[in-house]
Amino acid sequence: MTLFLLSFAVLVLAAIGLGTGLLLGRGPLGGSCGGDAVLKVCAFCKGKERR
């Protein structure tokens, strides 16, 4: 039970930290240099190029 509470507390602190950073004007987390950014393909457009 202690491990569960400790894990839950860490997750809550991480969520609060991310939310606070977003509210203070920092942008959301960005992706890495791989994936769709390299392929220039939008996952939402089903393969069409980004504009």
If DSSP codes are grouped into helix, strand and coil, which group holds residue 5? helix
Range 31-44 average pLDDT? 60
Residue with tokens 């969520």: 15
pTM over 0.85: no
Q: What is d(CA 29, CA 7) in angstroms, rounded to the nearest whole number?
A: 22
Q: What is d(CA 31, CA 43) in angstroms, rounded to the nearest whole number?
A: 13
Say if residue 29's pLDDT is above 70: no
Q: What is d(CA 17, CA 21) in angstroms, rounded to the nearest whole number?
A: 6
Written as six digits, the tokens of 4 are: 């569960």
Q: State the average pLDDT for the chain.
A: 75
Say if residue 27's pLDDT is above 90: no
| pLDDT bucket at 3, cuts 50 / 70 / 90 | very high
If DSSP codes are grouped into helix, strand and coil, which group holds residue 46? coil
Residue type, 25: G
